[in-house]
Each structure stands twice: as C-alpha cells, then as structure tokens.
Amino acid sequence: MKKITALCASLALSVVAASSVQAEDSRPYLSSAKALKGVQACHELAAKKGWNMAMIIIDRGDDVVASFRMDEALPAALTGATLKAGSSLSWSMPSGDIANITSKKPEFKVFPGLLTVGGGEPVFSKSGKLIGAIGVAGGYVEHDQECAKTAVAAMK
C-alpha cells in the first residue's frame, strides 16, 4: 500500500512539474479579446474626433484577428491599414520608423508590401515578445498613429 501511495505521489509531482515546464515554454499570443479591445479603443477615439478610419489587427503569423472599417472610411483605407500592420509586424517597429532604415538602405524599398507611413504599430506581450501588429489608415498620418497607439495601449 505504501508503494502505491508513493507511486501516486511521485506521479502527481511529475504531472505538476511537466505542466509548469509546459507553461514556461508556451509562447504568448494575441487573443481575439485583446484585439477587440484595441479595435474598440481606436474606433471610440476616431468617432469622438470625427475621423473615418479603417483598422486591422494581425497576430504574429500575419493572420487577421480583428478588422473594422468605419462607415465613411474609404475602401482603400483598409488596404493601407493592412499594409501598415504587415510592415510593422515584419520589421518589429512602427511603420513610420521603417522609413529611417529605407532612406539609408534604398534597396529595402522594394520589400513586397512595405508601407513606411505612420499608423502601423507592433504589439508586444508583457514579456516583450512580438505577438502581432495593428494598422490604421484613413486620416492624416498623425491621426492614424494616435489611433494605433491608443489601440496598443488598450491591448496591454
């Protein structure tokens, strides 16, 4: 009986140890709930200020987690937002900052789908891992950037 109890205790410790290793090894990701909070925050800011925006949030695999185009936003705004998000994700930096690199290294300007206009922001986990990006387009670049930064703050 003591052997069975000891075996069960040992097995229980192994399961706990394995699950904690698995939790440590798991990679953070951008949840749909966080993405929705980001879209809502950007939408609320844009509506309050009278901006007509399109926004898209992608995960680290470049898959769409959330997107939204306000009623009066031009259809092309969603294309711009998509390119900004993809650029920001690929380069792990705000889309507007990529222009600093491409101005010094013009050969990077031919990178497929690259848009070096502000409004794309990377999204990082609490541990600093890149988990996605947001792109916002439809207004002045400064408005796009403000909306994107507001969305990122809401996703933390």
Q: How confident is the model at residue 7 (pLDDT cuts 50, 70, 90)?
A: very low
Q: Residue 72: give its domain's CATH number.
A: 3.30.450.150
Asked if the structure places residue 61 within a domain, the reply is: yes
Q: How confident is the model at residue 21 (pLDDT cuts 50, 70, 90)?
A: very low
Q: Please give the Cα distance from 146 to 140 (Å, whole number).
A: 10
> Tens digit of pLDDT for each residue in 76-103?
999 999 999 999 999 999 999 999 999 9
Q: Please give the Cα distance from 105 to 112 (Å, whole number).
A: 15
Asked if the structure places residue 45 within a domain, the reply is: yes
- HSE-CB at 148 with a 13 A cutoff on CA atoms is 36
Contact indicator for 46, 70 with CB cutoff of 8 Å: yes
Asked if the structure places residue 99 within a domain, the reply is: yes
Asked if the structure places residue 11 within a domain, the reply is: no
Secondary structure, 3-state, 79-133:
HHHHHHHHHHHHHCCCHHHHHHHHHHCHHHHHCCCCCCCCCEEEEECCCCCEEEE
> Tens digit of pLDDT for each residue in 25-81?
578 999 999 999 999 999 999 999 999 999 999 999 999 999 999 999 999 999 999
Question: What is the domain count for the chain?
Answer: 1
- pLDDT at position 15 over 50: no
Asked if the structure places residue 66 within a domain, the reply is: yes
Tell me, what DSSP letter sits at residue 115?
A: -
Contact indicator for 101, 79 with CB cutoff of 8 Å: no
Quick one: which of 111, 144, 149, 112 has its CA closest to 133?
149
Tell me what pLDDT residue 27 has: 84
Asked if the structure places residue 7 within a domain, the reply is: no
Q: How confident is the model at residue 116 (pLDDT cuts 50, 70, 90)?
A: very high
- pLDDT at position 122 over 60: yes
Specify the pTM.
Answer: 0.82
Q: Please give the Cα distance from 138 to 150 (Å, whole number).
A: 16
Asked if the structure places residue 67 within a domain, the reply is: yes
Q: What range does the domain containing 38 cover?
A: 32-154
For residue 65, how far is the Cα from the chain centroid? 9
Contact indicator for 144, 119 with CB cutoff of 8 Å: yes
Asked if the structure places residue 93 within a domain, the reply is: yes
Q: Please give the Cα distance from 69 to 138 (Å, whole number).
A: 9
Tell me what pLDDT residue 12 has: 44
